[in-house]
Structure 1
Amino acid sequence: MKRDKLGLDRIIFFSDAVFAIAITLLSLDLRLPANTQQDSVGYDLIRLLPEYQSYATSFIVIGLYWISHHHYFRFIRRYDYLFVAINIGLLMCIAALPFATSVLDTYSNHRSAVAFYALCMMLTGLMKTWLWHYATQNFRLVHRRLSVQRIRLLTQRALIPPLVFAASIGLAMLSPALAKLSWGAIALVFF
């Protein structure tokens, strides 16, 4: 285990860069159709509402993942290479979210597109939870003054999004719209 401040800072900076790039990539799919005429701009903007909704949802979710990642790193004092590998796995999931959002934008009413998006979100949440659990297990990488209650609370909160997204995969097979509505449960729980 390393107590190398520069090494820990580099992990944080790299993570921040991946989060920032993923959020930026979300906006690349937001564009009017190439054949938009001046008199149909308003109509074409309205037709893009589902894409704006997917963009906003993914932007908020990635932002919330960044906030919790940032919050976790306030407690992490050391790192080892398995922790770095788990963090890379989390960042790989974050980097895949713009693609999952693009699939959802293009096929927003298809069961498999909604289920795929939920699966990607679920895996991201599980990686985030694993990162926190690994760091806090037996105070492996965190300060011993961090209370067990705080560790437990943050672990339980980390599990909420992946559980909601896991449940929505089944819902997507019944109703893609209902599955997408269920994602709002995450916001209700946190706020």
Structure 2
Amino acid sequence: MPLERMVFFSDAVFAIALTLLALDLKLPLGIPPERLTAELAGAVPELLAFALSFLIIARVWMSHHNDFFRIRDFNPQLAWLNMLLLFFIVMLPAPTAILSDYGGNPSPWPSVLYAATISGVYLTLAGMWTYAWRRGLTDDTVNEAEHRRVFLARLTAPAVFLLSIPAAFVLGSNTPFLWFLIIPVALLARRLTAHPSPAATQ
């Protein structure tokens, strides 16, 4: 099977997952005009959960695209790792809906399910990249330093989301605020793995 078929199939699955996310964006039918403002305000958590998942799927799709631009060959093991990634991507609309519907409750489980799914996405993506590099399936531009740079960048999201799983049993409905840590953690990882400037290498 040509490598392009697996990439095209993956693109289609990503598109389906984005579509499934949007299916939950709806208001109840027959809302009286005087209740519209309140119903729209009540839909804000649902919209925020949709936006977060949309952003994550979009970022993962771009990372997947960049990886397979440099992965020149594949084997059955890499194909199954790719299927595992798509499994988590297709499953993401379910914990997104649970988070939007029940995220305001004291129960930690909506945040735990969501964080576990996101962690599975990024850990699988990182595992695919490392497996392809170690098996010699990438092109010559991917040396050890480049592999390490991409691999560490892929670990920033699961580091934050995995940390939030035990924290959810303490923070409850406030757990999603912890996910904002992904911004400084990603910036720190980018600084630590940045390519050295030409002047620094002389």
Structure 2 distance, partners of 1:40, 1:168, is 36
| Structure 2 match to 1:107 | 102
| Structure 2 match to 1:80 | 75
Structure 2 distance, partners of 1:28, 1:145, is 41
Length-normalised TM-score, structure 2: 0.87
Q: Do the aligned partners of 1:58 and 1:101 also contact (CA within 8 Å) in 2?
A: yes
Structure 1 distance, partners of 2:139, 2:6, is 18
Q: Equivalent of 1:144, from 127, 140, 156?
A: 140
CA-based RMSD of the aligned residues comes to: 1.4
| Structure 2 match to 1:43 | 38
SS at match of 2:133: helix
| Structure 2 match to 1:66 | 61
| Structure 1 match to 2:198 | none
Q: Do the aligned partners of 1:171 and 1:178 also contact (CA within 8 Å) in 2?
A: no
Superposed CA deviations along residues 132-152 of structure 1, whole A, max 9, x for unmatched, are: 1111115x2101332221110
Q: How far did residue 85 of structure 1 move?
A: 0.5
Count matched residues: 185
Within 5 Å, which residues of 2 pair with 1:13-52?
Answer: 13-52=8-47
Matched, 1:180 2:164: no
Structure 2 distance, partners of 1:36, 1:136, is 55
SS at match of 1:116: helix
| Structure 1 match to 2:119 | 122
Structure 1 distance, partners of 2:125, 2:186, is 16
Q: Equivalent of 1:161, from 152, 157, 160?
A: 157
The one-letter code sitting in structure 1 at the alignment partner of 2:131 is Y
Unaligned 5+ residue runs, structure 1? none
Unaligned 5+ residue runs, structure 2? 188-202
Matched, 1:55 2:64: no
Q: How far did residue 51 of structure 1 move?
A: 0.5
Superposed CA deviations along residues 61-84 of structure 1, whole A, max 9, x for unmatched, are: 111111111111111000111100
Superposed CA deviations along residues 3-42 of structure 1, whole A, max 9, x for unmatched, are: x7xx111111111111111011111111112341122212
Length-normalised TM-score, structure 1: 0.91
Q: 1:35 to 1:174 in 2, by over 3 A?
A: farther
SS at match of 1:102: helix
Q: 1:64 to 1:176 in 2, by over 3 A?
A: farther
* Aligned-pair identity (%): 33
Superposed CA deviations along residues 58-115 of structure 1, whole A, max 9, x for unmatched, are: 1001111111111111110001111001000000000000011011111113311111
